[in-house]
Structure 1
């Protein structure tokens, strides 16, 4: 991670670290890096979006790059527009599921995949040098506005078909998904009830679509006797799902169900997930001809592996799914359409969810100053390898040790001064025993680092 770019582009509190001045420089750096061409720019609903978007656009135009401004747009729509217009890159002004005082800048490749850490490092080097391309007066970039929403819906309807109609409650959290997700569901032939669909930049619930933040959605699904509830974060790259009984479907269960459905839809193949995903996925997709590959945490790592292996489906246990047959941008809106198609083909979600094995997952955060992380991880590696009896080790992102009936992941946070421990076991007793040992080990390593 560099000075500006973290695990998901630049993400900071507005007018503190993330200022219009910085956004202007990012635009100039990206334009210099590209050396010409066209860039699609969109923003989520945050109150600071317009000022940052205009600053980025100014920077791009000054280097001679042409800009297509798609205005208020969920991240999946930016990814779609890049390919639709044959652009050379895309920029989303978003802080995804962060609180409203944050905003961010995320850059996308022509194939819809986010910029890799290596590409971000190159952008950062240009940004730091201040050595930007300056286009002469007669070569300044041109700006045009476009609205790709209708094209997005038309293309989605070519890939997803329902035989029946359903009642769907869509909770967009007052984020950018509110201008597209309910409309796609309606075009699929469903009766749609919209919650929190005011794209004002004032959020009424925590943006991450989890069990706690979606209590209103769960109640509405129950009260309206709806078939399913679909929810998104601020830029709708994530999906959270409530079943027909008004119960939030845990991320891991939903990930397994969708991976299984994609194998049924597209045939046997590879499923890509991250090192913090549990065994339920492997156990559920194996009989369906799926092979699970694990990679680093973050949508760009998942997209990268999907492209490399020609995978069928990729997803993180955070509700971030990538459907490669559609695009390499994480897309909670298209994912919502697929959830309906799965229900249409296989039956009610509450019944489907019973088929996914349930194990005990525990998570812990241990404070660790950023400057101690590298040394602490070295110590954890030495200790963990000596004190646990494991069969396999994965060290692509932190350290994951696993046995046939449990696994533990030790990983430094990319955004906070903490070490994360995630583990899974078949019984509550075993999980607690492992966590006690793991926490002790990490605290000890942080102290000695």
Structure 2
């Protein structure tokens, strides 16, 4: 069954739009009112990343919440992991992060979190949209307006993290926060762990000097720094630090798929055999690498909320996406690139240099493509793609819980509409470069014809 869920406001990762186009202070105010109406009472933690529009949108959202009688704890500049931690620390009924994660600086967004640190599900977001559309918000009298307090949970976060991570010695670590919200926490946690820390792009200015997604291209400066300084590892984050990118001790970017396999295997060693949750865009290397350790892979829709739901449902040991988004259930159900960074250090401490342990992970050829596609064309384009796939590709299995993934024993292709950008994504994997390139050429042709036909 092919299902595409795309709300008017909420995508796969909350609301994410260009500021003062679709995402305005008026919309933020209404989202605050809708969330307060949905909750009825209680308290909400609100944080923001470093974007220049964050203060404007945060204040509008807080005003909406207060008008419904809901109390607000403003933690101000805060990476998403810290917001998730603060929700549980302050026993709040929900949390909100004003962030557009890895999107460019002209974007911002609103993401809502449950009391357990998990993001709001699509059903919960649909209910918020229903309240928004109806426009009938809870409104209290002047003497019942919610109370606004301010808090800083960073010390508690660091203290708790240090209780869970243990190193036998200190390491030299270079941390690149992309001038995002991780700047106020990630380097400090690494230092408190006993490491010698060198920070790059760790000024929370809201002006980003590199692409925020921590990939091989955007982390060239980090790679050079690790190599020239003789560091043991480089850790990088996106705008709200819910993701992690890793540079090994030789200055090489560790591919997302390889890093996902490594950390999954370490979690199985640390906590015992069990399920590993990942998404439909993850490759076969993970399955092949963790099987000897008693691990079993279960795939879910793309998005951290689907991974978190899968972790809870399967009582899984770990969950992660091949985008550097990891959820460590023993810590929290919020994706956390900052805690992931110190977990990587513990793995290195126990298993050896990253460049050496990474050699054991199978390497297959993974290719990705993004093709522009207006949001309103995505549903019909996917229907066209499914017909073309059925007629023109020879495969053994099909997974259609999120886009369309076709597989046989030596390759797979995923066609999927982005939930955060006006693009169609193609992700594929094959055992040889030649086969991967052949599949990508064919897949791109299908997607372009689909978009043109709509």
Q: Pick the TM interval, shorter chain.
A: over 0.9
The number of equivalent residue pairs is 449
Aligned to 1:99: 104
Cα RMSD for the two superposed structures: 1.3
Q: What SS is found at the alignment partner of 1:354?
A: helix
Match of 2:192 in 1: 187
2:360 match: secondary structure: coil
Q: Specify the alignment match of 2:293 in structure 1.
A: 288
Gaps of 5+ in 1: none
- 1:326 and 1:81 map into 2 onto residues whose CA distance is 13
Q: 1: CA distance between counterparts of 2:381 and 2:390? A: 14
Aligned equivalents of 1:370, 1:215: Cα separation in 2: 33
Deviation of the 1:368 alpha carbon: 3.7
Q: Normalized against structure 2, the TM-score is what?
A: 0.96
CA shift, 1:310, in A, is 0.7
Equivalent residue, structure 2, for 1:30: 35
Structure 1 distance, partners of 2:316, 2:429, is 25
Label 1:174 to 1:369 Cα distance change in 2 as closer, same or farther (>3 A). Answer: closer
Q: Which residue of 1 aligns with 2:359?
A: 354
Change (3 A) 1:11 1:441: closer
The question of 1:136 aligning with 2:141 is answered: yes
Pick aligned residue for 1:224 from 220, 226, 229: 229
Which residue in the other structure is 1:66 paired with? Answer: 71
Conserved 8 A contact 2:13-2:420: no
Does 1:163 pair with 2:189? no
Structure 1's 235 and 366: CA in aligned 2 closer, same or farther, altered over 3 A?
closer
> Quick check: 2:16–2:420 contact (8 Å CA) kept in 1?
no
* Residues in 1 aligned to 2:452 and 2:195: alpha-carbon distance in whole angstroms: 56
Q: Distance in 1 between matches of 2:86 and 2:164?
A: 17
Structure 2 residue 257 is matched with structure 1 residue 252: yes
Deviation (angstroms), 1:312: 0.8
1:39-438 correspondence to structure 2 within 5 Å: 39-438=44-443
**TM-aligned CA deviation for residue 47 of structure 1:** 1.4
Higher alpha-carbon deviation: 435-444 or 273-282: 435-444
SS in 2 for 1:53: helix
More displaced 10-residue stretch of structure 1: 197-206 or 252-261: 197-206
Aligned position for 1:21: 26
Partner of 2:3: none
Following the alignment from structure 2 to structure 1, what is the Cα–Cα distance between the partners of residues 104 and 424?
A: 22
The Cα offsets for residues 332-366 of structure 1, whole Å up to 9 and x where unpaired, read as: 00000100000000000011111111111122334
TM-score of the superposition, structure 1-length normalised?
0.97
